[in-house]
Every structure is written in C-alpha cells, then in structure tokens.
Amino acid sequence: MLNDPLAAALTKIFNAERVGKREVLIRPASRMMKRVLELMNESQFIGSFEEITDGKGGSLKVNLLGNINKCGVIKPRFSTKTTEFEKWEKRYLPAKDFGIILVSTPHGVLTHHEAKEKHTGGKLLAYCY
C-alpha cells in the first residue's frame, strides 16, 4: 500500500526520464494526480497522457518528452501565503522563473505563477524544473 501516491508517481516519472524511456505507467490514478499531470503538460515538462480504467483504481499512461531535470514532492506540505512564494522558489527551484511549484489552493491545484495572479495561498505539493 502506498503512503504517498503523488510522491511515487513523480519518482517513477523522474526515474523513467533519467533512463530515457518514452512513456511510463502510473498507478493508481486520482483527480489530483490528473490535475498535476495537466499542469506539467501545460508547462511542457511531459507530453500527453491518457487514463486507462481497469476497475482497480485505474492508471495513467504518460508520454515523456525528456524535459525534466528534477521533480519531486514537497514534504511536509507547507502552508504558504501569496507573499511567500519567492522564498519557496529560492528553496526548491534553481533560478527565478525557472520551473514550477504546484500549490493546492481553494481554487484547485495551480502553479505558483497562477496562484500569484489570483492572489491566493495554499499548501505546497510538488516542484518541477
């Protein structure tokens, strides 16, 4: 049984990228996992993905582009305000405006850029660059 499915999925994606694979299968699928993959797709870190329903929690087949240098979850899930995003960028990203931090907000899962525009804080989930 997985304690943190998001961490397992991002680790699987990162390891497949390092080895040079073109696609990876992530199990189990969840709404939050799909939203995280959508944001990574919009930022062009991964290619398209499709959901495969098998009656056992489902899975996601992700096409990889080879654009990820590092990705992972942020543990513990720190709470943050709109004014504190720069501090977290310095901690988790190699340079300003290079990569994304995914944040769970009252508006849903957003990148830190979108959260700044909407003037909302939330809990830090993951980073990718």
Residue-range domains of the chain with CATH:
5-64 (3.30.1370.30), 74-128 (3.30.1490.10)
* Helical ranges in 22-111 per DSSP H: 31-42, 85-92
How far is the C-alpha of 79 from the C-alpha of 105, rounded, in Å? 10
pTM recorded for the entire structure: 0.93
Q: What was the pLDDT predicted at 1?
A: 57
Confidence check: pLDDT of 102 > 70: yes
- Interval 4-62: pLDDT, tens: 999 999 999 999 999 999 999 999 999 999 999 999 999 999 999 999 998 888 999 99
Residue of 79, 85, 71 whose CA lies nearest to 37: 71
